[in-house]
Amino acid sequence: MVTENQQTIRGSFELKDVSVTYGVETAIAGVSMDIPPNAVTALIGPSGCGKSTLLRCLNRMNDELGNATVGGRILLDGVDVYAKEYDPVELRTKVGQVFQKPNPFPMTIYDNVAYGPRTQGIRKRAQLDEVVERSLTRSALWGEVKKDLKKHAFELSGGQQQRLCIARALATEPEVVLMDEPASSLDPISTQQIEDTIAELKENVTIVIVTHNMQQAARISDLTAFMLRETMEAPAFLVEVGETRAMFTNPGDKRTEAYITGRFG
Amino acid sequence: MTRVQRARFIQTLAVGITGAAAVFIIAAALFLLVYIVVRGLPGISWAFLTESPSGQMKEGGIYPVIVGTLYLIAFTALFSLPVGVAAGIYLSEYAARGPATRAIRLAISNMAGVPSIVYGLFGLALFVILLDFGKSILAGALTLACLTMPVIITATEEALRQIPSDLRQASLALGATRWRTIYRIVLPAAGPGIVTGSILGLSRAAGETAPILFTAAVYYKRQLPDSIFSDVMALPYHIYILATQVTGRPDDIIWGTALVLVAGVTLLSVLAAAWRSRQRRKVRW
């Protein structure tokens, strides 16, 4: 099924009837959607609606929680990433993640960015130098830190730390970058910088972003998926997914309209 | 008394009682330390530290005794650190929550609660007799390692637990395996805590008499140990011998020996604390 087009542009997800169960409790159920390559897809919805849980399915970070079971099928460029023989460690080099709180490693800026490539066995200094510069440039941090690459990452401001984390995720040349409310702990200026970075990144990578901020979703995403958990007894589900502009001007579902106009959540 | 007056009185009383307890602890510790220093200092000299006992223990120094304890502690560290740290890593990073893990934890806390004389008997039965190591540095260090292990395991687990799970997640999300995450991210960050806890465990072992009573320590030995199968003199056992077995021994020697032991153990703890605070300043989150 692989066409020439899919070989050049990679990083598309197909979700088919995806569910997540923690122990006996089903957190989300019946999510089917396509995530197109080289675009920003926003997951929105009130707290506890399973946005982050769904995001963590895409790089199998739910595996690390021990008692989570994922049902349905998740295909990355047509390949089932939950197939038995599929190695989650390999998946995570293709699908990177940026977390809610900046979480640089307690080491230098350079070593933070080089961590992923080194994990993949790249040892040559020149090659690492190049990856570090390219990644930091893509996350719009290079200009600020190029003279201080040996500085400890904790000396950076919160916004800089988050852009460092984006550079770190980009250093493994992923096809997809997952972002879990990447700007929620940042001030408005840093948030603006992160959003600008996302807009530039989507030329080369697929971005899936969880956000609480409606304006942010409207500003940066091409596609928006609205999730909801109506009662604590029933699992969360996908209400609708569509082009962001259409969704925000003319939502197809009353619940979506109520949420994006701020009547609940 | 009105209600307010009574409340105020009880408040004053509470401050007084808890404060007095705190002062008592400090005073007791200080008294102990000062007493040992005052009684021990007159006995300390270069000769005391570098010569062997002589004149049926009533003269001479404690050089072989110090060497014996250093050997015992070095080998105890060699045996207990790798196993203890590895077990701590397993419990903190790999073990699934369940009955098996609970059983292991229970076993460890039980191990920590076993009286040291029981370890001595256990060491005698297993290492000295069954494995035929004889009364030796090897048997003594293995026995002390059993005693120290639970402390090191617990210290390792605690230190690892302090590391934010954010860091582990970040590493895993970059395509690192669990093991790479542990040895590149988690262990370096937890290192200071592990080292400090381990040193505290080892310094406790340095002062134990009972575990080496049947497994390593001898009353008097002319030569220094030449292999791990040699038996040795050791500081705590030497103090015990001087205090109970040698009639007419000079106080200077016994208190001097005690001072050397206390100073050594204190030095270890201070070094550990200093190193940790230096690392803390370097690494923070």
**Contact criterion met (CB < 8 Å) for A154 and B180:** no
Give me the residue from B167, B174, B284 closest to A116, CB to CB: B174
How much is the pLDDT for A264?
67
User: Under a CB-based contact definition with an 8 Å cutoff, are residues A64 and A49 in contact?
Assistant: no
How much is the pLDDT for B57?
72
pLDDT higher than threshold 60 for residue A215? yes
B177 close to A (CB below 8 A): yes
**Contact criterion met (CB < 8 Å) for B171 and A115:** yes
How much is the pLDDT for A4?
46
Closest Cα in chain B to A168: B174
Q: What is the mean pLDDT of chain B?
A: 87
Task: Render pLDDT for A103-120 as a digit per residue (tens, 0 to 9).
Answer: 999 999 999 999 999 999
Give me the residue from B173, B189, B285 closest to A97, CB to CB: B173
| Inter-chain CB pairs, A–B, below 8 Å | 65
| Alpha-carbon gap, residue A41 to A35, rounded angstroms | 7
How much is the pLDDT for B230?
81
Task: Render pLDDT for A247-259 as a digit per residue (tens, 0 to 9).
Answer: 888 888 888 888 8
Closest Cα in chain A to B179: A119
> Mean pLDDT across the stretch A178-203?
90
B97 close to A (CB below 8 A): yes
Length of chain A: 265
B169 close to A (CB below 8 A): yes
> Mean pLDDT across the stretch A71-96?
92
CA distances to A48, A113, B185, B253 from A206, rounded to whole Å, are 25, 20, 28, 77
pLDDT band at B220 (very low <50, low <70, confident <90, very high): confident
How much is the pLDDT for A263?
67
Q: Best of A89, A111, A161, A175 to disrupt the B interface by mutation (most B CBs within 10 Å)?
A: A89
**Contact criterion met (CB < 8 Å) for A106 and B175:** no
The more confident residue out of A233 and A109 is A109
Return the percentage of chain B with pLDDT > 70, whole number. Answer: 98
Q: Best of A101, A119, A156 to disrupt the B interface by mutation (most B CBs within 10 Å)?
A: A119
pLDDT higher than threshold 80 for residue A43? yes
**Contact criterion met (CB < 8 Å) for A92 and B175:** yes
Return the percentage of chain A with pLDDT > 90, whole number. Answer: 60
Provide the whole-model pTM.
0.80
B173 close to A (CB below 8 A): yes
ipTM attached to this prediction: 0.89
Quote the minimal CA–CA distance from A45 to chain B in Å: 24
pLDDT higher than threshold 60 for residue A5? no
| Alpha-carbon gap, residue B230 to A91, rounded angstroms | 56
pLDDT band at A57 (very low <50, low <70, confident <90, very high): very high
Q: What is the mean pLDDT of chain A?
A: 89
Quote the minimal CA–CA distance from A30 to chain B in Å: 25
User: Position of tokens 């007799």?
Assistant: B129
Segments making up each domain of chain A, as ranges:
4-104+176-260
How much is the pLDDT for B196?
86
pLDDT higher than threshold 50 for residue B104? yes
pLDDT higher than threshold 50 for residue A2? no
| Alpha-carbon gap, residue B64 to A11, rounded angstroms | 70
The token pair that represents B56 in the structure block: 């049926």
Closest Cα in chain B to A114: B174
Work out the number of other CB atoms within 10 angstroms of the CB of residue B30.
Answer: 10
pLDDT band at A6 (very low <50, low <70, confident <90, very high): very low
| Alpha-carbon gap, residue A180 to A102, rounded angstroms | 11
How much is the pLDDT for A134?
94
pLDDT higher than threshold 50 for residue B125? yes
Q: Show residues of chain B in contact with A90, CB under 8 Å.
A: 175
Quote the minimal CA–CA distance from A228 to chain B in Å: 26
pLDDT band at B47 (very low <50, low <70, confident <90, very high): confident
User: Under a CB-based contact definition with an 8 Å cutoff, are residues B139 and B123 in contact?
Assistant: yes
Give me the residue from A66, A105, A120 closest to B96, CB to CB: A66
User: Under a CB-based contact definition with an 8 Å cutoff, are residues B205 and B76 in contact?
Assistant: yes
User: Under a CB-based contact definition with an 8 Å cutoff, are residues A139 and A182 in contact?
Assistant: no
pLDDT higher than threshold 60 for residue A8? no
**Contact criterion met (CB < 8 Å) for A99 and B188:** no
Q: Best of B174, B177, B184 to disrupt the A interface by mutation (most A CBs within 10 Å)?
A: B174
How much is the pLDDT for B278?
79
pLDDT higher than threshold 50 for residue A58? yes
B42 close to A (CB below 8 A): no
> Mean pLDDT across the stretch B159-168?
91
User: Chain A: which residues have CB within 8 Å of chain B?
Assistant: 59, 61, 64, 66, 89-93, 96-97, 99, 101, 103-106, 115-116, 119-120, 154, 165, 168-169, 172
Nearest to B154 by CA among B80, B74, B98, B96: B80
Nearest to B147 by CA among B121, B174, B183: B121
> Mean pLDDT across the stretch B228-244?
85
Closest Cα in chain B to A63: B172
Query: What domains does chain B contain, in order, with CATH numbers?
Result: 46-282 (1.10.3720.10)
Quote the minimal CA–CA distance from A128 to chain B in Å: 16
* Crossing angle of the two packed helices B187-206 and B137-161, in degrees rounded to 10: 140
Task: Render pLDDT for B53-72 as a digit per residue (tens, 0 to 9).
Answer: 877 777 777 888 888 899 99
Q: Show residues of chain B in contact with A165, CB under 8 Å.
A: 170
Give me the residue from B96, B97, B166 closest to A103, CB to CB: B166
Query: Which of the following CATH numbers is that of domain A4-104+176-260: 2.60.40.10, 3.40.50.300, 2.102.10.10, 3.30.420.40?
Result: 3.40.50.300
Comparing A242-246, B2-6, B58-62, the range with the smallest average pLDDT is B58-62
pLDDT higher than threshold 90 for residue A16? yes
> Mean pLDDT across the stretch A180-207?
90
> Mean pLDDT across the stretch A155-169?
93
> Mean pLDDT across the stretch A5-15?
74
